[in-house]
Structure 1
Amino acid sequence: MIDDRDLRELYRLSSGEHLQTLETGLLRFEQNPSDRDDFAELLRAAHTLKGDSRMLGVNHVEKLVHQVEHVLKQLQSQEISLTPLLAETLYNTLDAVKQLVQEATEDLPSELPSAIDPVRVLARLMQASSGVAESELMPLEPSPLPIAQTAPASLEGNSELIPDPQLIPEPIPESIPDPQLISDLIPEQPSEPEVTPSTTPPAVSNSVPALGADRPASSVPTSPATTSPPPARSLDRPTSPVHSIHSVNPITPPSAEPYHIDTIRVATRHLDGLVDRVGELAAIERRLSHQSALLDGLVRLWEELRLLDRGQQRISDHTLATDRRRSDQQRHQLHEEFQQALYGLRERVQNANHRLEAITDDLKDRTRSLRLLPLATVFQHFPRMVRDLAQQQGKAITLVVEGGETTADKQVIEALRDPLLHLVRNAIDHGIESAAERQAAGKPACATLRLRGAQQGDRVLISLSDDGRGLDRQAIIATAVRQQLYSAEELAHWQDEQIFELILLPGFSTRLEATELSGRGVGLDAVRVCAERLKGRVIVQSKPGQGCTITLTVGTTLAATQALLVMTRDRTLAIPLEYVHETRLVPVSQITALEGRPVILLEGEPVSATDLGDLLELPGLPPGPAPDRVDVIPHACVVLVMGRDRLAVFVDRLIDVQEIMLKPQSKLLVRVRNVSGVTILGNGDVCPVLHPPDLFATLGGRTSRNSSLSTADSLSMARPPAILLVEDSIATRTQEKRILETAGYDVVTATDGMDALHKLRSRTFDAIVSDIQMPRLDGLGLTARIRQMPEYDDLPIVLVSSLNSDADKRRGAEAGANAYLTKDAFNQAALLGILRELARSP
């Protein structure tokens, strides 16, 4: 590890850029071997990384990158060609360098063994560049047999490591450019007395000199047998304990962690502009200080006027006319001075405010631009991934990236990587056919995957298109029917767009068996959830046999947004403008009921309607005098839109549309449902910012007794509390359902956790009662999945199980359950009592 923290961070950032340059350039060269224009940039990146590593003492990285640089020069001069084996070995070497850089820049104990064996990585690269067949390449990890044989001998008192000659790998061809590189990678150990040449087996004397005995003999590449034996060198006895003699793991990608961008590169002109604006702010501050002094002078003038007025009242009728005239002149003069000073101050303050407003707006734009990153920041991760997955699937795929210059806020860029990863994996596994299947369909054997970015106002559009088989409408319908989401009769009347959107539901997959890439039904649901968190949506388009396009529409920034300010129940609330379809005045007489729910008609279509105060369960206001004709009084209505869904909410008053800065909720607070954060209004009041996706999920016809709309019969229809009952045993499910329905609850049943996830999205529930031991997804897994969805943070979950140990109850609480009821102690009163405490009573 690099000791200096600042140097460590600089090295981590610069090496990441150089490695990305090398990987991207290698991908381009692999796709177009005749184009060698990028080699100057690749060699410069390798050379710089090598120099940085040497300066900071990261020797393993220096030696590996030195060999990469050597291979690149050979490719540039056409001494060798880029074979598939050499390309794969170069990628593996770059992966190894990434891992070694990570180890050198993390705060880890220096005695921890590395997950990478640089000797083997270097030897494999040398062999691959010299034309060795894949079957003859040194393996990335040694077999356990040599370790088992050499480890005991290496730990004995003064014995030397004498490996079995049969365990020495095949000789490396003579074309290795610099065998000394391998010996340089072995750390020097305290030497033991020299072993005489006569006691050294030929296999050892023919090996590369100065190899440390802390590595298994099988991991040491040998030189050609035809070379003359070098002078005998001392064999090093390992000084580390037994656990330091370990098997080197193969190169594997690092474990998945949340994607985070630590730093942003900012052009100096942007910083110069900020400094200039800050200087102007300082000048305005000085002007305001001067105007504050003028205001003090106005106060003194006002006090003098008051004193003169009091003196005027004390002047008697016998006072000389000249004295009264002199007093009147003073008063008039002071009034003139006061008026001029007041008007002058007002003008100065207005000018300062206008200038301050302009500078503040400019500063906001400039500071926001500092956080903007191009989509290429996240797009650059996919060419290598598409190449590797295509090889894994045995498919030929070309990735075309467009619109990488489109910019979005850093926080949006960070959140986009995982959903795009899911989309790419699904496209490769589900959408793109094999080369034989494509040729049989009259398509090119090589498929095209197109990743696009574009700007549309204050929105960013990211689409992934493939020219594969497209979505299978009948397979999607069959899956929806099999998972009991909808009946075949219902789905038969749906449009293609509605059918295709079913693939975004949790747990939905047309695959009967999961593969390493997809089929578990979690990827596209994660895409939908991410898009909603980014104030956006997902659009699915497909044509059979021609391909599929999935588009994410998200905001360019999460901090600043346009919002509609409304007043309800004497509270000011903000609604993000991207969710507002329209505003209108609607008389109560135009509110009707459909299937027990209040609705209004918009463009001939019924739209669910509710009072916003009722939806948020705000306390009602004291009732005022009732008007004679409540049915003709128009109510302010905001029509919200999310995808194709619309919701009409009634408010007391529409205030204004303005830009707000969204401040997230404090980490000390549990997330408040229906609220995404707060903002500070111009008058200093704290205003909650609503989260419309939660409002859609919360909608359940809850009405307040004091609602201003309660006089209308259509809004007085209150539904019974809804319970989602999850139980795989039909007998237990029937018994519990009867108990709950007898108590007045509206009960929807699910046969297991996966079925419950589907039905959870179909309507609003007041609580969930679930068994634990169930197929597909058990109760603990169901609870954990629900708690990962922000819109269900406050949904009560009661687990009912025959598992009654303290450990079982603790696991239930850790998963997020609100209550745990054992079946051996189960009774009707206990279950209903828990539900009365946690949820709404019938």
Structure 2
Amino acid sequence: MSDFAGMEELLQDFLIEAGDLLSGVDNKLVDLERAPDDRGLLNDIFRGFHTIKGGAGFLNATELVTLCHLTENLFDKLRNGELAITPEAMDVILAATGTVRDMFHYLEQGTQPPAADPELIDSLKRAIAGELGAASAPAEAPPATVTPASGGDGQPDWNNLFNAVTGLPVVVQPAAEKPASEAVVAVAEQSPEEVIKQAIGRRVTDKPGVSAPTGRRDTEKSRDNSIRVDTARLDQVLNLSGEIGLTKNRLNALRSDILNGLNDTETLHALDVAVSQLDLLVSDLQNAVMKTRMQPIGRLFQKYPRIARDLARNLGKDVELVLSGEETEIDKTMIEDLSDPIIHLIRNAVDHGVESAAERRAAGKPEKSIVRLEARQEGDHILIMVSDDGHGMNAEKLRAKAVQKGLITDEEANTMDDRQSFNLVFLPGFSMAAQVSDVSGRGVGMDVVRTNIQKLNGSIEIRSQLGKGTTFVISLPLTLAILPVLLVRLGEQPFAVPLSMVREILPIEAEQIKEVGGRATMVVRGEVLPILPLAGLLGWPQERVPEYGVLMHTAELSFILAIDSFAGREDAVIKSLDDFRPKGVAGVTTLSNGQIVLILDMKELLGGVGEQRGVSRSRLLAGGSQAVVVA
């Protein structure tokens, strides 16, 4: 039974509002660390935290109120100038806000959160008393000198670092061989920096009978189906609905007139005007309804400055995450699916992309590294860019590493350009890390990024310059509900392909087809492109010679899709196939004439990056055979 029976609606409102407030507090704390004299920031932080404490008190969340009250006391002394803002104070504050967020996980499960870690409470009290900095390590010692504890197998235990970076709750049992009194003595002998690092890793103590809250990855499975909509947008939908109702009445009146034999020119013209008006209003209503699904991407961006700050501090790097384009709006259903890919990219930029302070000094760069997270709209697509000013990617080393791991052959490596070499980082199992840690090294992160982006009908591109830095560019459709498609035909059967992948349509003429490496190709503006018959990709027999080619582009490959004909462009309303989805089919749509058409998933049809597909020139021009061969 829920601990908040009868207050479920109030609890949900609190979690939404307090979650936004806490994200704002986290971001402002990161800003405050860079501008410790900004009293306006401190006042904003104090007010935000005070509001969270008030809401928790109304819900009788006693342990949450206790932690909030202590942290608020520290904020109060900082804003009144009674205490100075030090790295140690910021560590304990960020550990406290992290624990508050973990307590929210308990509230989401309908249970009262247990008490915060005593070590964290003790550190807060010491900070309020001004004792935290007294026992701190010398200022010259960089954070990176703190060595993680080793596990039983001698390997570093990165759990604390992982939880500090991701914010996932963790429950750590106290060591059985140490009595409580010894543990307190051990804590007292540790430096505040070590205490805070442990507090970050053990944010909530275990209590008998209280299970750990569901982790973030589990809670994401049960998505929040609520959405905030500007009342102006709802008013627009309401007004358009009223206009459509009036037009419907006009059409009903004209229908009655026509059925009664009134079919003069004036009546038919009035019918034409009413139908045109209805078409325009329905289009406007569709756009207005779509806008109610749109949310500022800044709500997603809010948590990343804290993640970048924690990881950089643990790695001993000075990194500033700069946000841009936070007002850009994106389909709400995409925001949750983008969370993990962007976390991977930011962690990758901080861990791999930017150099250490010593390396940057040697290269003549500022010691502070800049990682940028930017969003903007271009046409019917959203671009999200994660860039760093680090050492960039070495295409030659990437190829050599991929060959060493057996992911590609020497022959494939020799034919790759820089763009294709950069894309090797997306291969499962590929990693340039010398050692495996919890942050990186297993070769799964970037593969997950690409897979999740492709699930959103998007693409990811890498731009890198050696010594200058790397940029990851994610391109996503504006919405998942409507997909612009190009209708192509095999015989009389239409198929839909995403218009975002289409560059141009070309006639296929026999004299322009060349054979390179046993595969039919065409030269388009100096670039040799393979011809891939759609019939072969689908496993259909090729009944005739294709007449047209669609020049298509993915992150890994540019090619010409050979088809019989095409039927124009449509804005497809996607219907998913939940129970049965054949390989290479993203969904279905219904055309204006009522015909049901399959929407093709071209990336799935093409297979992996290293898979070479093609058809010989003779087979392509012969027809009447199975077209595609795989080499």
TM-score, normalised with respect to structure 2: 0.81
User: What amino acid is aligned across from residue 641 of structure 1 in structure 2?
Assistant: H
Which structure: larger Rg? Answer: 1
The equivalent residue for 1:95 is 98
Identify if the C-alpha distance between structure 1 residues 475 and 261 changes in structure 2 by more than 3 Å, giving closer, same or farther.
Answer: farther
Identify if the C-alpha distance between structure 1 residues 488 and 694 changes in structure 2 by more than 3 Å, giving closer, same or farther.
Answer: closer
C-alpha separation in 2, matches of 1:618 and 1:443: 57
User: What amino acid is aligned across from residue 507 of structure 2 in structure 1?
Assistant: L
After superposition, where does 1:357-436 map in structure 2 within 5 Å? 357-436=279-358
The equivalent residue for 1:287 is 250
Identify if the C-alpha distance between structure 1 residues 444 and 690 changes in structure 2 by more than 3 Å, giving closer, same or farther.
Answer: same
C-alpha separation in 1, matches of 2:259 and 2:463: 68
Does the 8 A contact of 1:535 with 1:555 survive in 2? yes
C-alpha separation in 2, matches of 1:678 and 1:31: 51
CA deviation string 1:373-398 (max 9, x = no partner)? 22212221211011110111111111
Match of 2:521 among 599, 604, 613: 599
Does the 8 A contact of 2:423 with 2:556 survive in 1? no
Query: Equivalent residue of 1:80, what SS?
Result: coil
Greater displacement, 564-573 / 482-491: 482-491
The equivalent residue for 1:128 is 127
The equivalent residue for 1:691 is 601
Identify if the C-alpha distance between structure 1 residues 104 and 44 changes in structure 2 by more than 3 Å, giving closer, same or farther.
Answer: same
Does the 8 A contact of 2:520 with 2:620 survive in 1? no
Once the 2 structures are TM-superposed, how far is the Cα of residue 502 of structure 1 from its aligned partner?
1.9
1:664 and 2:554 correspond: no
User: What amino acid is aligned across from residue 681 of structure 1 in structure 2?
Assistant: L
The equivalent residue for 1:532 is 454
Once the 2 structures are TM-superposed, how far is the Cα of residue 597 of structure 1 from its aligned partner?
2.8
Does the 8 A contact of 1:608 with 1:647 survive in 2? yes
C-alpha separation in 1, matches of 2:526 and 2:173: 72
User: What amino acid is aligned across from residue 684 of structure 1 in structure 2?
Assistant: G
C-alpha separation in 2, matches of 1:167 and 1:387: 29
Greater displacement, 251-260 / 691-700: 251-260
After superposition, where does 1:265-276 map in structure 2 within 5 Å? 265-276=228-239
The equivalent residue for 1:6 is 9
C-alpha separation in 2, matches of 1:524 and 1:167: 40
The equivalent residue for 2:496 is 574
CA deviation string 1:276-323 (max 9, x = no partner)? 11111221222233233223322xxxxxxxxxxxxxxxxxxxxxxxxx
Query: Equivalent residue of 2:81, what SS?
Result: coil
Once the 2 structures are TM-superposed, how far is the Cα of residue 76 of structure 1 from its aligned partner?
1.0
User: What amino acid is aligned across from residue 31 of structure 1 in structure 2?
Assistant: R
Once the 2 structures are TM-superposed, how far is the Cα of residue 270 of structure 1 from its aligned partner?
1.0
Identify if the C-alpha distance between structure 1 residues 297 and 718 changes in structure 2 by more than 3 Å, giving closer, same or farther.
Answer: closer
Does the 8 A contact of 1:396 with 1:445 survive in 2? yes
The equivalent residue for 2:592 is 682
C-alpha separation in 2, matches of 1:171 and 1:395: 26
C-alpha separation in 2, matches of 1:718 and 1:583: 20
The equivalent residue for 1:214 is none
Once the 2 structures are TM-superposed, how far is the Cα of residue 247 of structure 1 from its aligned partner?
11
User: How well do the aligned residues superpose, as a CA RMSD in angstroms?
Assistant: 3.6
Query: Equivalent residue of 1:558, what SS?
Result: coil
Does the 8 A contact of 1:432 with 1:447 survive in 2? yes
User: What amino acid is aligned across from residue 285 of structure 1 in structure 2?
Assistant: K
C-alpha separation in 1, matches of 2:409 and 2:361: 37
Query: Equivalent residue of 2:39, what SS?
Result: coil
Identify if the C-alpha distance between structure 1 residues 168 and 291 changes in structure 2 by more than 3 Å, giving closer, same or farther.
Answer: same
Identify if the C-alpha distance between structure 1 residues 78 and 645 changes in structure 2 by more than 3 Å, giving closer, same or farther.
Answer: same
Identify if the C-alpha distance between structure 1 residues 653 and 547 changes in structure 2 by more than 3 Å, giving closer, same or farther.
Answer: closer
Does the 8 A contact of 1:53 with 1:62 survive in 2? yes
1:645 and 2:557 correspond: yes
The equivalent residue for 1:39 is 42
Identify if the C-alpha distance between structure 1 residues 282 and 650 changes in structure 2 by more than 3 Å, giving closer, same or farther.
Answer: same
C-alpha separation in 1, matches of 2:405 and 2:120: 48
Query: Equivalent residue of 2:257, what SS?
Result: helix
Does the 8 A contact of 1:593 with 1:714 survive in 2? no
The equivalent residue for 2:163 is none
After superposition, where does 1:775-794 map in structure 2 within 5 Å? none
Does the 8 A contact of 2:541 with 2:625 survive in 1? no
Query: Equivalent residue of 1:673, what SS?
Result: coil
C-alpha separation in 2, matches of 1:394 and 1:408: 35
The equivalent residue for 1:440 is 362
The equivalent residue for 1:826 is none
Query: Equivalent residue of 2:508, what SS?
Result: strand
C-alpha separation in 1, matches of 2:402 and 2:422: 11
User: What amino acid is aligned across from residue 599 of structure 2 in structure 1?
Assistant: V
User: What amino acid is aligned across from residue 674 of structure 1 in structure 2?
Assistant: G
Once the 2 structures are TM-superposed, how far is the Cα of residue 168 of structure 1 from its aligned partner?
7.8
Match of 2:276 among 336, 354, 357: 354
C-alpha separation in 1, matches of 2:382 and 2:614: 35
Identify if the C-alpha distance between structure 1 residues 620 and 640 changes in structure 2 by more than 3 Å, giving closer, same or farther.
Answer: same
1:712 and 2:621 correspond: yes
TM-score, normalised with respect to structure 1: 0.62
User: What amino acid is aligned across from residue 71 of structure 2 in structure 1?
Assistant: V
C-alpha separation in 2, matches of 1:458 and 1:487: 38
Identify if the C-alpha distance between structure 1 residues 422 and 569 changes in structure 2 by more than 3 Å, giving closer, same or farther.
Answer: same
C-alpha separation in 2, matches of 1:475 and 1:5: 56
* Pairs aligned (count): 574
After superposition, where does 1:188-199 map in structure 2 within 5 Å? none
User: What amino acid is aligned across from residue 40 of structure 1 in structure 2?
Assistant: N
C-alpha separation in 2, matches of 1:493 and 1:648: 19
Match of 1:50 among 50, 53, 64: 53
Identify if the C-alpha distance between structure 1 residues 254 and 663 changes in structure 2 by more than 3 Å, giving closer, same or farther.
Answer: closer
Does the 8 A contact of 1:448 with 1:467 survive in 2? yes
C-alpha separation in 1, matches of 2:117 and 2:440: 33
Once the 2 structures are TM-superposed, how far is the Cα of residue 32 of structure 1 from its aligned partner?
0.6
Query: Equivalent residue of 2:260, what SS?
Result: helix
The equivalent residue for 1:310 is none
C-alpha separation in 1, matches of 2:579 and 2:109: 29
User: What amino acid is aligned across from residue 584 of structure 2 in structure 1?
Assistant: N
The equivalent residue for 2:82 is 79
The equivalent residue for 2:150 is none
Does the 8 A contact of 1:146 with 1:167 survive in 2? no
Does the 8 A contact of 1:639 with 1:646 survive in 2? yes
CA deviation string 1:817-840 (max 9, x = no partner)? xxxxxxxxxxxxxxxxxxxxxxxx
User: What amino acid is aligned across from residue 599 of structure 1 in structure 2?
Assistant: T
C-alpha separation in 2, matches of 1:288 and 1:452: 48
CA deviation string 1:681-714 (max 9, x = no partner)? 11222111112212323985589xxxxx979348
C-alpha separation in 1, matches of 2:426 and 2:186: 53
C-alpha separation in 1, matches of 2:620 and 2:56: 77
Query: Equivalent residue of 1:37, what SS?
Result: helix
Identify if the C-alpha distance between structure 1 residues 55 and 484 changes in structure 2 by more than 3 Å, giving closer, same or farther.
Answer: closer
Query: Equivalent residue of 1:676, what SS?
Result: strand
C-alpha separation in 2, matches of 1:346 and 1:437: 78
Once the 2 structures are TM-superposed, how far is the Cα of residue 268 of structure 1 from its aligned partner?
1.2
Once the 2 structures are TM-superposed, how far is the Cα of residue 539 of structure 1 from its aligned partner?
2.3
C-alpha separation in 2, matches of 1:688 and 1:2: 47
C-alpha separation in 1, matches of 2:537 and 2:500: 20
User: What amino acid is aligned across from residue 360 of structure 2 in structure 1?
Assistant: R
Question: Which ranges in structure 1 are unaligned for 5 or more consecutive residues?
Answer: 150-163, 173-218, 221-242, 299-337, 624-629, 704-708, 723-762, 764-842
Identify if the C-alpha distance between structure 1 residues 349 and 474 changes in structure 2 by more than 3 Å, giving closer, same or farther.
Answer: same
Q: Percent identity?
A: 29
